[in-house]
Structure 1
Amino acid sequence: MVGLVVVTHNQLGNALIDTAEAILGNRPEALVSVSVSSGEDAGKLRGKIARGIRAADRKKGVIIFTDMFGGTPSNLSYSFLKEGRVDVISAVNLPILLKAVNFRNQMNLASLSKCLETYGKKNISLASEILKGKREALCPFDREYQ
């Protein structure tokens, strides 16, 4: 199972995980939130992220989700990038988090990360385009929308 860590400003990660739990009916295993508050020491924040990675790691790799590219959570998380072990996806949203939870047992870290990036981008949607049938499947779990 690929571990998941959500690193966000304030309590956004906790809210996403709580919402995922409400939708799924249970608290997903190996899913951890790390909250970053303004004014916290960068060294202490890196320690919190490292602890989050250790808590989520099930020896199949870890994906760190951050709230926005270029923000403190992302910038700190990039220092943990390690090919084949830790990847970072910026701009987490609820659909991407739910897909990660549901498909992390079926794909390896690299494949899952790439598909989640594509899926996350596709779930920032313009309803009129969806209704016209202009969506294409690029990942195995996209087929449910075809």
Structure 2
Amino acid sequence: MSNEIQILVMTHGNLGRELIKTAAMFVPQTETIGFIGLYEEDSIVVYQEKLSKLLDHSKDLLILTDMLTATTTRIAIQTLKRGRVEIISGINLIMLITAHREKNMYNIDELCELVHNIAKQDIVNIRKHIYEVE
């Protein structure tokens, strides 16, 4: 079994907080998932400080952000220099559930790959999927 990996959700507004609440319907102990929301009144410096405070408590860290080209991801990228950090953008519910459920079963690299693959598999054009399968 691998070291426990901290999960951190970085999103605009309360999107991440609501995803964490919803994930609790499927997996236990979601209160261990970290969250940093970026709000209109926040400066970049304030958001960076929020992140820095959480980084002091983690060895391995998987950060899930909301948008690839957004401030949340650009600030998260700064953590890559510290080592055992992986970042995946485009957070959705299945990514969060998978990351939280499997975080003790894999190392950080394997968990990142698993979550990324699950997310890709779960994004489907249903109409095309149904008719291609038949």
TM bucket (normalised to shorter chain) is 0.7 to 0.9
For normalisation by structure 1, the TM-score amounts to 0.79
Return the offset for 1:82: 3.7
Q: Distance in 2 between matches of 1:104 and 1:68?
A: 22
RMSD: 2.0
Residue 55 of structure 2: aligned partner: 53
Number of residues paired by the alignment?
A: 129
Change in CA separation of 1:20 and 1:6 when aligned onto 2, cut-off 3 Å: same
For normalisation by structure 2, the TM-score amounts to 0.86
Residue 9 of structure 2: aligned partner: 6
Residue 71 of structure 2: aligned partner: 72
Question: Is it true that 1:129 corresponds to 2:132 in the alignment?
Answer: no
Is the Cα–Cα contact under 8 Å of residues 5 and 53 in structure 1 kept in the other structure?
no
Tell which has more relative contact order, 1 or 2 (C-alpha 8 A, sep 6+).
Answer: 2
After the TM superposition, which residues 106-145 of structure 1 pair with which residues of structure 2 at under 5 Å, given as runs?
A: 106-127=105-126, 128-129=128-129, 132=133
> Unmatched 5+ residue regions in structure 2?
none
Higher mean C-alpha deviation, range 28-37 or range 92-101: 28-37
Post-superposition Cα deviations, 1:27-86, rounded to whole Å, max 9, x if no partner, equal: 32531110001242211111111223345x2x3x10110001011111111111147511
2:26 to 18, 23, 26: 23
Is the Cα–Cα contact under 8 Å of residues 16 and 94 in structure 1 kept in the other structure?
yes
Is the Cα–Cα contact under 8 Å of residues 89 and 113 in structure 1 kept in the other structure?
yes
Q: Distance in 2 between matches of 1:12 and 1:29?
A: 15
Which amino acid in structure 1 is aligned with residue 49 of structure 2? G
Change in CA separation of 1:53 and 1:17 when aligned onto 2, cut-off 3 Å: farther
Q: Secondary structure at the match of 2:24?
A: helix
Q: Distance in 2 between matches of 1:10 and 1:27?
A: 22
Q: Secondary structure at the match of 2:123?
A: coil
